Amino acid sequence: MLKLSEDSLHLQCRAANKNEAIKIAANALEKAGYVKPGFMEGMLAREKSVSTYIGAGVAFPHCAKENLDLVLKTGFQVFQFPQGVSWGAGKVVFVVVAVAATGNQHIQVLADIASLLGDEVKTTLLASAKTKQEFISQFEKA
């Protein structure tokens, strides 16, 4: 199970569209030391080929396989978008879990996220959390 820390959580984010949200996420992954510069392009390429929307108002952006060399170590950052971000095809995202993973480690992270965030009620609670502690408490309720 993923352990979410306050350092990897970003509340009250705003983005005009999914590309802007992905840029915010990629910059945070780079700042946290998980990826090299250029990772954002890999994330945008992945999104262009297959949407990373996983349902219930949650997106899971990560890079295309061709860009795995830009990953320094496996890690993730979580973003709350209380106003929502259009993810295309009528989908609106309120929680973004951006992942940098070596090899196929993102699959385990995705499995953890899917079980944690698999329902819209939980996503609504996460989207409306006012503090990091409130968000983490809701996030970790299995």
**Cα torsion through 103, 108, 109, 112, rounded to 10:** 180
Q: Is 60 helix (H, G, I), strand (E, B) or coil?
A: coil
- Which CATH topology does 7-140 take? Mannitol-specific EII; Chain A (3.40.930)
Tens digits of residue pLDDT in 36-83: 999 999 999 999 999 999 889 999 999 988 899 999 999 999 999 999
Which of 9-13, 76-80, 99-103, 128-132 has the lowest average pLDDT?
A: 99-103
Unique residue bearing structure tokens 């899917």: 114
pLDDT score, position 2: 72
Each domain of the chain, given as residue ranges in start order, spans 7-140
| Spatial CA neighbour of 81 closest among 114, 59, 63, 62 | 59
